[in-house]
Structure 1
Amino acid sequence: MNVLFLCHRIPYPPDKGEKIRAFHILKHLAARHTVHLAAFVDDAADLAHIEALRKYVKGEMLLVPLSRVVTRARMALALLAGTPLTTSYFASAKLDRWIGEVLKRRAIDRVVLFSSAMAPFLLKRRDFDPAKVVLDMVDVDSDKWRQYAGTAGVPMKWVYAREAKTLLDLERRAATAFGATLLVSPFEARTFADLAPDAHGRIHSVANGVDLTPAPPSASPYAADEIPLAMVGTMDYWPNVEGAIWFADEVLPRVRKVLPRAHFYIVGAKPAPALQKPRDGVTVTGRVAEVAPYVAHAAAVVAPLRLARGVQNKVLEGLAHQRPVVATVAATRGLDVVPGRDLWVVDDPQAFADAVIAAATGPDRDRVAANGRALVEREYGWDITLGVLDRILDGVPPAVRKAAVWSEALVGETE
């Protein structure tokens, strides 16, 4: 088929959560179809990867740089107009014209939209059948903003609540109009199905995957006399920032009472100022040339997110590298994991510290790590997870999950 793939951020390099999923969808589509790609670029350094993208994009391609001045002006106007800030940030007359031209020049069979921010580009068109559009929302973004509103102070509390309301309206309209809407987990799909009941039959779960054959990691970046605990991610993303601070302030001191050599590494680009405060036993690396060595050589991988949606790649990567993983309920609710078998899942600071001690030095660490690796081999290879996308594009969309399965998952979260 001819597939038009519209992405809110250039899907290369796959060096952060949303770009990892977008890249693997692009790669998967390119192996089966002719892909035409349009994406926004918010980091000029990413333009150096155009040739790498061309390995996958055999059709037409448009990359649209984002200007901070322009996007902020559009967001200010969106506040007055009552429209989502998210979609105003990614508005583009140039991209809109290009879509129309491609639809005229090419016999486009399907359009795949990555993130709800791209939905307006097809919602307003009359020259393409919306039933042939697949929207990958990934997470329920409107509910993420609702969570932020619950923890923020004035005036951001009001801004976040407004964004939750306006974005949910867009998500509902898009899911009702388009042929299929994808979410990253059954939990996300159930959450959105409850919010958009008119689109229930068009909502599907397509899980994130993980690279099951990562390149052999480089030498350990850690000192020989320490017990390294690693958290990886983009470190200006608020859920990562909040989780890292919670771990450093509330959990790590409890761990170091038992394991004085324990050292927490916060690994990822663009660390927020709130992370830069000096803390005993904590290193903030900033951007690193390779993330894999920090995961592969860690005594334990931690995912202490308390505000989280969807599937956390940091958890999958830890499991794929066969490392002991300790995570919160919020960081694992999108995964089909069994606490105590595949990893440790805890929320209380002392319980989290106890789990980290067990994961880093306990007798069960190798067994649990091996079970985690076996799990991702069975269920989370990209070819396995994206097989559902193939069936949807072929016009045979499977049901997400039965309500009974969802109910069991929800019960498990409260235990």
Structure 2
Amino acid sequence: MSQAKKKILFHLPIPIDSGSYNGTQGRILGVMKYFSDRKDFFEVDAVSGNKFGIVEWGAAQKQEILKCVDNIFVYEGDRNLVDFLYTRLQSLYYQKILQQQLPVDSDYFAPPGYVRYMRQLISQKNYDFIWINNLDYAHLAAEKTSEATRIIDMHDITSRFRLVRKNIPGFEKLKFDYESNFKREVKLIDKFDTVIIDAQNEREILSSHLPATKLRLVPTLIEGSISGSSTVPYQSREFKYDLLFVGANNQPNKDGLNFFLNSVFPEIVRHKPDTRFVIAGKIVREIQIDASFKENVDCLGYVPDLADIYLKSRVAICPLITGAGTKFKLVEAMAYAMPIVATKISASALSLIDGVNAFVTDDPMVYAEKVIRLLNEPELAQKISQEVAKTFENEHSSLSVYSKLDAILGM
């Protein structure tokens, strides 16, 4: 007699675009790939919501997600005026009157109507697990209303992310007290049975505040990518570009890329005038390339499939100077066994060790020096490629991540 499938209610904060390399979407796609590969053991319902006046979940989006899950339920928040007024008043009170960011434990993204909808779903089906993605939506399942095991995947420690956001235009005038918000965050996630983080440094931060049995480290899985050990060997690749940066249109990417273009790239070009640098992603809308580098830099914009670019680029760079959490672009570069040069904040959430499986530095001159070495010394680049491939296999491969998810879901 076959064992009954375990029932999971899986929350989606946003519609999922399989062509996107946004970090949140990438992490969720990896988990959904796991569910798909374990379809004989799980019955997965997805739940999400439309915001007031906006229909994010149309017929096409629902049909796409049904390729990965058994059912999709969408809260029609686009029609709920009460929820809209509830969230607008919160925003007005905190941001306009108090001149501060919303508290991290605010229910702004999970207003009462959405919570009631979620509880109705839970009451109608005997779920074994309820999985929430991102602290913003924690209130959807923060209170125990069934026997289901409640899981929250943090993606990032939100209070750290909000602290960084103080430097982003539109938020720089809003106050944010990190210590009090961090305490609020810990209190909220402690209501869940399992708290998933994706980086060792985040576990170190939270381990003194939450029971060790509650915290589970699950690195980001790259859905659909080939593994570092099975891709084309570095020494056998045909390179078109020397340097690669992949990024969405956000402030940390903009600041980091400007830092690189202004403080690092000129030194690289001075030593190697024919350096070819390719930038992929919507970040190209926000940057200006100096006229003297027009022949060196290709701005591709959004690229549906990055595999070819990864395999045709010698070195991946990640020069971010602000931000928090795991940099999805680096995990992708690791998947393709690319030599990496990153700043400390970029590499902080990953097992990248300077001089072993990557180069990590914040000094512009040292950054340029490491890039030049990788471009001039094929043996060094190959060695770093081999080491980062091993790291990827040990921590981010399907085999590694699936075993951690199996343990959480009682497989």
TM-score band (shorter)? 0.7 to 0.9
- Partner residue of 1:21 out of 27, 48, 54: 27
**Structure 1 equivalent of residue 110 of structure 2:** 91
**Structure 2 equivalent of residue 382 of structure 1:** 398
SS of 1:250 mapped into structure 2: helix
SS of 2:69 mapped into structure 1: coil
SS of 1:262 mapped into structure 2: coil
Aligned AA (2:31): I
Q: 1:35 to 1:152 in 2, by over 3 A?
A: closer
- Partner residue of 1:36 out of 26, 29, 45: 45
Q: 1:41 to 1:315 in 2, by over 3 A?
A: farther
CA-based RMSD: 3.4
Deviations 1:235-265 (A, max 9, x none): x222111111111111100100011111332
**Structure 2 equivalent of residue 189 of structure 1:** 203
- Partner residue of 1:4 out of 6, 9, 12: 9
**Structure 2 equivalent of residue 128 of structure 1:** 146
Is residue 91 of structure 2 the alignment partner of residue 78 of structure 1? yes
- Partner residue of 1:55 out of 67, 79, 85: 67
The normalised TM-score by structure 2 is 0.80
CA contact (8 A) 1:207 1:386 kept: no
Q: 1:77 to 1:165 in 2, by over 3 A?
A: farther
Aligned AA (2:65): L
Q: 1:258 to 1:190 in 2, by over 3 A?
A: same
Q: 1:175 to 1:91 in 2, by over 3 A?
A: closer
Higher mean alpha-carbon deviation, 352-361 vs 242-251, is at 352-361
**Structure-1 separation of matches of 2:145 and 2:180:** 26
Aligned AA (2:407): R
Is residue 338 of structure 2 the alignment partner of residue 320 of structure 1? no
SS of 1:177 mapped into structure 2: coil
Is residue 114 of structure 2 the alignment partner of residue 114 of structure 1? no
**Structure-2 separation of matches of 1:103 and 1:299:** 49
- Partner residue of 1:144 out of 147, 154, 161: 161
**Structure 1 equivalent of residue 234 of structure 2:** none
Unmatched runs of 5 consecutive residues or more in structure 1: 218-223, 396-415
Paired residues for 1:219-230 under 5 Å = 227-230=241-244
Paired residues, number = 379
Is residue 306 of structure 2 the alignment partner of residue 291 of structure 1? yes
Is residue 177 of structure 2 the alignment partner of residue 159 of structure 1? no
**Structure-2 separation of matches of 1:277 and 1:170:** 42
Deviations 1:42-83 (A, max 9, x none): 89788534333212211343276879x997993563351685
Please report how far the alpha carbon of residue 370 of structure 1 lies from its aligned counterpart in structure 2 after TM superposition: 2.2
Q: 1:14 to 1:375 in 2, by over 3 A?
A: same
**Structure 1 equivalent of residue 280 of structure 2:** 267
Q: 1:165 to 1:41 in 2, by over 3 A?
A: farther
SS of 1:111 mapped into structure 2: strand
**Structure-1 separation of matches of 2:396 and 2:227:** 14
Q: 1:309 to 1:119 in 2, by over 3 A?
A: same
**Structure-2 separation of matches of 1:75 and 1:170:** 21
Structure with bigger helix share is 1
Please report how far the alpha carbon of residue 272 of structure 1 lies from its aligned counterpart in structure 2 after TM superposition: 4.9
**Structure-2 separation of matches of 1:253 and 1:160:** 37
Q: 1:323 to 1:60 in 2, by over 3 A?
A: closer
Aligned AA (1:110): F
**Structure 2 equivalent of residue 412 of structure 1:** none
CA contact (8 A) 1:8 1:90 kept: no
The normalised TM-score by structure 1 is 0.80
**Structure 2 equivalent of residue 407 of structure 1:** none
Aligned-pair identity (%): 18
CA contact (8 A) 1:193 1:199 kept: yes
- Partner residue of 2:363 out of 326, 344, 348: 348
**Structure-2 separation of matches of 1:268 and 1:326:** 19
Structure 1 runs of 4+ off > 6 angstroms?
Answer: 41-46, 69-73, 214-217
CA contact (8 A) 2:133 2:153 kept: yes
SS of 1:334 mapped into structure 2: coil
Deviations 1:348-375 (A, max 9, x none): 1011111111222323112211222232
Unmatched runs of 5 consecutive residues or more in structure 2: 1-5, 232-237
**Structure-1 separation of matches of 2:144 and 2:105:** 23
CA contact (8 A) 2:164 2:323 kept: no
Deviations 1:67-122 (A, max 9, x none): 9x997993563351685379555235553343122212211111111110110111
- Partner residue of 1:203 out of 212, 215, 234: 215
**Structure-2 separation of matches of 1:352 and 1:57:** 44
